[in-house]
Amino acid sequence: MGGSRRVANDPGRKERIVVATLEVVAERGVHKTTHRAIAERASVPLGSLTYYFDGLTEILEHAFRHLTHTMSEYYGARVAAAADRDEACAAVVDLICGPEYATPRQFVLLFEMYSYANHNDEVRRAARAWMDLSRSSLSAHFSPGACRALDALVEGWSMHRHFEREEGGADRALVAATVAAIAGRLD
């Protein structure tokens, strides 16, 4: 072969591995994620993982970048659809109270990612880039201080909602009043 790599005959395989990694992490946690479990979930030969990635660490880094990219796309699109600050406030309330953003599965993955980021600089950079994208999407309607506060509110209140599922989650009126107060006070 002259030292050149063959072209993969399954162009979607790398993506399937990344998605399967997130599925395994959501079910087992990072600490119980293995090459074998990922390969089985992705329905690929075990050797495919080392063909596309240098090891489990690199697979996890790609998977967490994929997670942050997917979540930031939804977050950004929801805020970008707002025509004015009132609609942007409503979008923030929807991010916190709505069922589409930060689903229970996504929260499990976020907790795993944050924990892993404490020990992996690449994942820490991915988490930071996601924060920057979130704040940037808010910046069309809010001051820099309000962007930071609202982004922290979206994440923090969503986290509380995740743990309070049995109690009905967030009070939409209270969330809306809090978002309006932050937007009004910091702008």
In the block, tokens 């910091």 appear at 186
How do residues 80-134 score in pLDDT, each as one tens digit? Answer: 999 999 999 999 999 998 888 888 899 899 999 999 999 999 999 999 999 999 9
Q: Find the mean pLDDT for residues 51-61.
A: 97
Q: Give the H or E element holding residue 109.
A: helix 104-117
**Predicted local confidence at residue 187, as pLDDT:** 72
Question: Which band of pLDDT confidence, cut at 50, 70 and 90, is reported for residue 169?
Answer: low
Distance CA 57, CA 122 (A): 10
Distance CA 126, CA 139 (A): 20
In the block, tokens 């690929």 appear at 44
**Predicted local confidence at residue 115, as pLDDT:** 96
Q: Find the mean pLDDT for residues 31-53.
A: 96
In the chain the domains, ranked by start, together with CATH numbers, are 61-186 (1.10.357.10)
Maximum alpha-carbon separation in the chain = 66
Q: What is the mean pLDDT of the chain?
A: 91
More reliable by pLDDT, 7 or 134? 134
Question: Which band of pLDDT confidence, cut at 50, 70 and 90, is reported for residue 8?
Answer: low
**What's phi and psi for 33, nearest 5 deg?**
-85, 130
Distance CA 70, CA 48 (A): 24
Does position 4 have pLDDT exceeding 60, yes or no?
Answer: no
Smallest CA-to-CA distance from 92 within 161, 143, 157, 144 is with: 157
Share of the chain above pLDDT 90, in %: 78
- Total-model pTM: 0.87
Distance CA 163, CA 156 (A): 11
Distance CA 101, CA 98 (A): 7
**Predicted local confidence at residue 3, as pLDDT:** 47
Q: Are the C-beta atoms of 48 and 39 separated by less than 8 Å?
A: yes
Q: Find the mean pLDDT for residues 140-166.
A: 89
**Predicted local confidence at residue 2, as pLDDT:** 45
Distance CA 96, CA 154 (A): 5
Q: How many residues in total does the chain contain? A: 187
Does position 152 have pLDDT exceeding 90, yes or no?
Answer: yes
Q: Find the mean pLDDT for residues 44-54.
A: 94
